[in-house]
Chains A and B, each alone.
Chain A
Amino acid sequence: MSSTVLSPPRHYLNDGYGVKSWLLTRDHKRIALLYLAGVTFFFFVGGAMAVLIRLELATPPGDLVSDETYNKLFTMHGVMMVFFFLIPAIPAVIGNFLVPIMIGAKDLALPKINLLSWYIYMVGGLFTLYALIAGGVDTGWTFYAPFSTASSTTNVIPTALGIFITGFSSILTGLNFIVTIHRMRAPGMTWFRMPLFLWSIYATSLINVLGTPVIAITILLVAAERLFHFGFFNPALGGDPVLFQHLFWFYSHPAVYIMVLPAMGVISELVAAGCRKPVFGYTFVAFASLAIAVVGFLVWGHHMFVAGESVYAALIFSILSFIVAVPSAVKVFNWTATMYQGAVSWETPMLYAYGFIGLFTIGGLTGLFLAAIGIDVHVTDTYFVIAHFHYIMVGGTIMGYLGGLHFWWPKMTGRLYNEGMAKVSAVIIFVGFNLTFFPQFILGYLGMPRRYHAYPPEFQVLNVLSSAGASILGIGYLIPMIYLMWSLRYGRLAGSNPWGAVGLEWTTTSPPPTENFETTPVVTWEAYDYGSTVEGHVA
């Protein structure tokens, strides 16, 4: 329309131009885009390591890189992906953008702290990148003592400090979300009218706030042990290395839920919008998020079945690990029940939702194998474990992240991406992912250990399949980069509600104005009120 050319509508993207208006912004939507740039960058750094790992493993002998280099590659792949991509991705990008809009607020409660947490994140990330360039680190992302404290001669302290620093960004973002959800909801936006994404983000924030400080102190203990010859985890000095593992997994197991809970929240939104139905059993899904957050804190011992844990402790951790699967299963069943007799869509976000549900189910069920002590002892430290957690983290978190990014991209940018290319890349990612990681289940079951750069020739066929899958997966990740960037300039205008979805974010313009709404909304309807307000499907 010509009128839009004459007086472009005011929105957050044209409310101030120039570097300063971005680097000093307190607008949660702009900070979300700053995070988007950050996590995308670290994703491709971590991805580059994965490429080298899979290239090395294409042939049985360790011929491409030395064993030392290989150790550094998988360590930095894990560190980059876990701490600088998977943990911040959905909360800090999609959550930052949506939390205030979904509750009808003008911004997060603490906008300056929000900006601060982005800077902390970038400083921590660049610090870790420095450690990588200055020689790398070879302990594995788990930093097990006493190797990390007494033996390793690589850059343990810079890497650990980078993770320590970034931890504060998680804590501050989680704190900000908790305060915002408690204190900033618009009139009428009760807890049980909130979109399920917010329940997930709230549960995630609880884990961030309660778990992250424990990894922070653990990292400080490791650093102090290296620097000052303290002996907290060194048996030669009276310390206990298993205590390190307890402290490490007290955070790092719940961290898995930090990664996957927000993805579950995204999937609830996608499934509701894609089926034009309220999510089946809203309260069950909402409380399942909290149950995962709570029980998730009580299962860390299943990482130590072979590390010298008492039989009784192992039994209890095993039972609790089975129990934590229940709320996850509740979610999967409820999404499926939502789809039943729904007007199920085949648009890109829904493709990612289908992918998530399938892959997360496989990842979750194999998690039960690992929770059973007998099987765990057999497959500990094999590729079975690698395949299992990649199904959760990549098949779960990245599917949720990409699904959410596609779903809310029109809201964030005001533009539509190329639906055809998006569908093709979603399928490529799904196929590539399964080809990469399914063979690893078999490899692990056959006994191929993790963290070696060479392997016996009989494992080659499955490894070649995996490496071939990884290259397909890599292409699948590159295509969205292209068409999403392209859409920024050439994409069709999205309009305020391209999916015909309900939820406060679709009642404001795309992109939203700086204060999100012209006037503070008053909520008089329940979440996913598709019965009464289905709108014409524009896109």
Chain B
Amino acid sequence: MPDAAPHALPDAAHHTLSQPTQAEVALAHQFDSLEQQRDATTLGMWVFLVTEVLFFGGLFTVYSVYRSSYPEAFAAASHELDILLGTINTVVLITSSLTMALAVHAAQVGQRKALIAFLVVTMLLGAAFLGIKSVEYYHKFVEHHVPGPGFQFEQEYFRHAQLFFSLYFMMTGLHALHMVIGVGIMLWMVAWAWRGTITAEYYSPIEISGLYWHFVDIVWIFLFPLLYLLGRHAH
């Protein structure tokens, strides 16, 4: 029976002797209906993303303060970043958002195989992003652009370029950590989809995972111009 309309029934009706439907199993006891459950979990994820905005917002504030204090040093340091790898990563990440959106659609219409396929592609793109990011980190390490005792830069901008790279590693590092968590969530969602927990009636886990994935994507959309592009023409 595709639609058991559980929200229309009183609570006692859930505990009948007949086998409960998948939708009834998915309904947590504190909710009256799957619709209310979906509304609540979606709102929860949006509120969580608001905290994430403020979390990265603190970093962006620090970045803005120092960027406006030391524009030349930041432009010089920004010039050392690999714009080709950065651009490729941006494309990879935007594509992963597309496949994530397709995964949500597949979940909504109940196409289990397509859902699993899109989730796996999203994960692979996420992993590709992290791989490329590691290559970039490795280059920075080789070039002595990691802040600390081994840091090297032209004397004029030495101190403030170090500040730039501190921010670079902090911002991209926390972004990468969010990506790792995102890939972990995708793995979890693949397992749920595989077991058949996700149905056309109960797909909100995929939907809110998607919200998270898109958010992490958007953070990068801000990081890329701030770190790689701004003031690049000056050098």
Residues on A lying within 8 angstroms of B by beta carbon are: 100, 105-111, 113, 171, 175-176, 178-180, 182-184, 209-214, 216-218, 220-221, 224, 228-232, 237-240, 243, 247, 250, 515, 520
A118 nearest CB across to chain B (Å) = 17
CB-defined contacts of A230 to chain B, threshold 8 Å: 147, 163, 166, 169-170
Partner of A240, one of B65, B162, B167: B65
With contact pairs A210-B51, A216-B55, A238-B163 given, residues A108 and B30 touching in the complex (Cβ less than 8 Å) = yes
User: Can you give 22 A-B contacts (C-beta < 8 A)?
Assistant: A107-B30, A109-B30, A109-B40, A175-B48, A176-B44, A179-B43, A180-B40, A182-B40, A184-B36, A213-B51, A213-B54, A220-B170, A221-B58, A221-B59, A230-B170, A232-B62, A237-B163, A238-B66, A238-B159, A239-B66, A240-B69, A247-B62
CB distance A171 to B40 under 8 Å? Answer: no
- What separation, in Å, do the CA atoms of A228 and B147 have in the docked complex? 7
A229–B170 alpha-carbon span in the complex (Å) = 12
B212 to chain A, nearest CB (A): 14
Q: Find the B residue at minimum CB distance from A231.
A: B163
Specify which of B28, B29, B52 is in contact with A515 (CB 8 Å cutoff): B29
Output the least CB separation between B46 and chain A (Å): 9
B172 CB, min distance to chain A CBs, angstroms:
13
B2 within 8 A of A: no
Q: Give 6 new A-B contacts, CB below 8 A, not counting A179-B43, A221-B59.
A: A100-B30, A175-B48, A224-B166, A228-B166, A230-B147, A238-B159
Indicate which residue in A106, A183, A217, A228 contacts B43 across the interface (CB closer than 8 Å).
A183
* Per-residue A-contact encoding for B133-149, CB less than 8 Å = 1, 0 else: 00000000000000111
Residue of A nearest to B148 (CB): A229
Our pick among A108, A109, A171, A237 for the contact of B51 (Cβ within 8 Å) is A171
**Residues of the A chain whose Cβ atoms lie less than 8 Å from the Cβ of B41:** 109-110
Cβ of B62 and Cβ of A231 under 8 Å apart? Answer: no
CB pair B54 A214 closer than 8 Å: yes
Q: Is B20 an interface residue (CB 8 A)?
A: no
Whether the pair B50, A209 counts as a contact (CB closer than 8 A) is: yes
Cross-chain contact A243 with B65 (CB below 8 angstroms): yes
The A interface is mostly helix, strand or loop, or mixed, namely: helix
Within 8 A of A (CB), among B30-80: 30-32, 36, 39-41, 43-44, 47-48, 50-52, 54-59, 61-62, 65-66, 69-70
- Give the A-B pair count, Cβ closer than 8 A: 118
Interface centre among B50, B51, B52, B61 (most CB of A within 10 A): B51
Residues of A contacting B162 with CB < 8 Å?
231, 237-238
B29 and A175 contacting across the interface, CB-CB below 8 Å: no
User: Is B160 part of the contact surface with A, judged by Cβ < 8 Å?
Assistant: yes
Q: Is there contact, CB below 8 Å, between B55 and A238? A: no
Q: Given A107-B30, A109-B44, A217-B58 in contact, is the A231-B159 Cβ separation under 8 Å? A: yes
CB distance B163 to A232 under 8 Å?
yes
Residue in contact with B44 in the complex, picked from A175, A214, A218, CB distance below 8 Å: A175
Q: Is the interface of B mostly helix, strand, loop or mixed?
A: helix
Chain B residues with Cβ below 8 Å from A107 are 29-30
How distant is the Cα of A470 from the Cα of B21 in the complex, in angstroms?
62
Q: A183-B40, A184-B40, A217-B59 are in contact. Are A238 and B47 (CB under 8 A)?
A: no
CB–CB A221/B30 < 8 A = no
- The 4 A-B residue pairs with the shortest CB-CB distance, nearest first, are A213-B55, A217-B58, A230-B166, A107-B30
B173 CB, nearest partner CB in chain A, Å? 9
In the complex, which of the residues B52, B159, B169 contacts A213, with contact meaning CB atoms closer than 8 Å?
B52
CB contacts (< 8 Å) of B32 on chain A: these are: 520
How far is the CB of B153 from the nearest CB of chain A, in Å? 12
Measured between beta carbons, the chain B residues less than 8 angstroms from A213 are 51-52, 54-55, 57-58
How distant is the Cα of A224 from the Cα of B51 in the complex, in angstroms? 21
Q: Which residues of chain A are within 8 angstroms of B29 by Cβ–Cβ distance?
A: 106-107, 515
Complex-state Cα separation, A237 to B43, whole angstroms: 42
B11 to chain A, nearest CB (A): 8
Question: Once the chains are docked, how many angstroms separate the CA of A105 from the CA of B51?
Answer: 26
Asked if A209 and B170 sit within 8 Å, CB to CB, the answer is no
Q: Are A110 and B54 in contact (CB-based, < 8 A)?
A: no
What chain B residues lie within 8 Å of A221 (beta carbons)? 58-59, 62, 170
Inter-chain contact A214/B58, CB cutoff 8 Å: yes
> Do A232 and B166 touch across chains, with their CB atoms under 8 A apart?
yes
A250 to B65: give the CA distance in the assembly, Å.
15
Could you tell me the distance in whole angstroms from the C-beta of A177 to the nearest C-beta in chain B?
10
Q: Are B43 and A182 in contact (CB under 8 A)?
A: yes
> Which of A100, A109, A217 lies in contact with B55, CB distance below 8 A?
A217
- Using CB atoms, name the residue of chain B closest to A186: B32
What is the distance, in angstroms, from B115's C-beta to the closest C-beta of chain A?
24
Q: Among B36, B52, B58, B169, which residue has its beta carbon within 8 angstroms of that of A183?
A: B36
- Assess whether A214 is in contact with B57, with CB atoms less than 8 Å apart: yes
Nearest A residue to B44 via CB reads A179
A179 to B162, CA, bound (A): 42
Please determine whether A218 and B58 come into contact, CB atoms closer than 8 angstroms: yes
User: For residue B43, which residues in chain A have a CB less than 8 angstroms away from its CB?
Assistant: 178-179, 182-183
The answer to whether A106 touches B30, judged by C-beta atoms less than 8 angstroms apart, is: yes
- Could you tell me the distance between the alpha carbons of A238 and B44 in the complex, rounded to whole angstroms? 40
A110 to B70, Cβ gap below 8 A?
A: no
Least distance between A117 CB and chain B CB atoms (Å): 12
| Chain A contacts for B59, CB-based, 8 A | 217, 221
Question: Which of A171, A214, A229, A231 is the one whose CB lies under 8 Å from B149?
Answer: A229
Most chain A beta-carbon contacts within 10 A, residue among B32, B39, B47, B55: B47
Check B51 against A209 for contact (C-beta < 8 Å): yes
In the bound complex, CA of A184 to CA of B39 (Å): 10
Q: Please determine whether B58 and A209 come into contact, CB atoms closer than 8 angstroms.
A: no
Q: How far is the CB of B142 from chain A (nearest CB, A)?
A: 18
* Inter-chain contacts of B57 with A (CB < 8 A): 213-214
List chain A residues, Cβ under 8 A from B148.
Answer: 228-229
Contact assessment for B58 and A247 in the assembled complex, using a CB-CB cutoff below 8 Å:
yes
A231 CA to B174 CA in the complex, in Å? 17
Closest residue of A by beta carbon distance from B149: A229
Q: Is the CB of B51 within 8 A of A175?
A: yes
> Which residues from chain A contact B65 at a C-beta distance below 8 Å?
240, 243
Bound-complex Cα distance A108 to B37 (A): 11
Q: Identify the interface centre among B30, B40, B48, B62: most chain A CB within 10 Å of its CB.
A: B30
**In the complex, A240 Cα to B61 Cα: how many Å?**
13
Distance in angstroms from B15 CB to nearest chain A CB is 13
Q: Are B40 and A238 in contact, CB atoms less than 8 angstroms apart?
A: no
B27 to chain A, nearest CB (A): 12
Q: Which residue of B lies closest to A217 (CB)?
A: B58
CB neighbours of B62 from chain A (8 A): 221, 232, 243, 247
CB-CB under 8 A from A214, the residues of chain B are 54-55, 57-58
Chain B residues, Cβ within 8 Å of A113:
44
